[in-house]
Amino acid sequence: MIKNDISKTVIEFRDKYFRFFPKKATHLGNHDYDNVLGKWNKEGVREKITFLEHYRDLVKESLEIDALIIKNIIDSHLFHLKVIKPYLRPDFFVGYSLDSIDYMIHLLEKAQDKAVRKELVNSLVSRVNGFPILFEQSKEWLTYTTPISRNLALYMVKFFQHFLETDYRDFIYSLDFSQEFKEKLIGVIPFTIESLSKFDHFVRTLEVIPLNHHKLKRAKNFYKDLFKKKYLLEYTNDSLMQVTENRIKSLTEDMNDISGKDIDGYFNRLVEKNQIPYTPDKINSYLMNYFQKKSKEYFDFCRSTELIPTDREPIIEWTPIYKRTSSPLASYISCGPYETVKDQGIFWICPAK
């Protein structure tokens, strides 16, 4: 395929890609698909796979950089859809629904233009209204589940319901929004709780199979292959133990180094208690200052290596409550390449009780 054809194919792929993966579009800053969740029933998964395989065939012989990037994107999605198959787990659907609105909520906090706010509010409400359809699509896949997947899904539902009932109103009222926007955002509470409750009931009635069940053999073999052959070095038991011991030693040295520089002994007390002191009504400012100081060291390194643009200061803040069920201790969310709402990355710190 000649270069002009590749460029045309890349543009076609990009435009169609967002339609199949609307959540990705939102995170990348394309807001044309903010009002949809996408199809995750059997038909929807087949359409995604067909779309990806078609464009992989179109670019597979090309060595152009754009084609190579597309191939990597496609291979990653196909591996996810055809091998890992996350849609066989009930927690995937809860996580997907929450993850589809969390970045939009964050954008609402940062948006200044009234027209942009209106679009984001309307799109978020439309996306929430799609929860029942998304959960209904899950029933085509979910006929049984493992204890871990079921318990995680139930926990995420409970956590988000609690957020809606106790913290969501205060969060919305804290935004500098018009009353019209606030009423729209608060109006989704009963509908969302009802949708989550129905999915919760469905998950509870699923047949739970033991972790050693033969139906899980495929997953076990996959992870065995993932670890030993295809995606990591072929460690023996002894060499793997050595790698682990070296990693623990390095981690211990890092912790001792941090502790040695902590003149107030705060880090030591934190480790001893094995928890971060946190209350919803009063965030520990000392801890945030500590994270900000340590984060600055990492950002300075990233700037010196041009991983982060030198003219942009990332926002450092606590991970939003609605994201804490699935977020790691800390995460950096770069600004999407198509984003126009706020041209700034976010560094989230997740407090733990």
Residue 51, token pair as written in the block: 């779309």
Facing residues of 144 across strands?
207
**pLDDT tens digits, 222-262:** 555 555 544 445 556 666 567 667 766 666 676 666 666 66
**pLDDT tens digits, 104-162:** 887 887 788 888 899 999 999 999 999 999 999 999 999 888 888 898 899 889 888 98
Tell whether pTM > 0.85: no
3-state class of 349 per DSSP?
strand
Interatomic CA distance for residues 70 and 13, integer angstroms: 8
Which H or E run includes 23?
Answer: helix 22-28
Interatomic CA distance for residues 202 and 147, integer angstroms: 14
Encode the chain (353 residues) as per-residue pLDDT tens digits: 455 577 788 889 988 999 999 999 998 889 999 999 999 999 999 999 999 999 999 988 877 778 888 888 999 899 889 988 899 999 999 989 988 888 788 788 778 888 889 999 999 999 999 999 999 999 999 988 888 889 889 988 988 898 889 888 988 888 888 899 999 999 999 999 999 999 999 999 998 887 666 666 555 555 555 555 444 455 566 665 676 677 666 666 766 666 666 666 655 655 554 444 444 444 455 555 666 666 666 666 666 666 555 556 667 677 766 566 566 566 777 777 777 776 667 777 766 54
Domain ranges of the chain: 3-226, 235-272, 275-353
Interatomic CA distance for residues 292 and 286, integer angstroms: 10
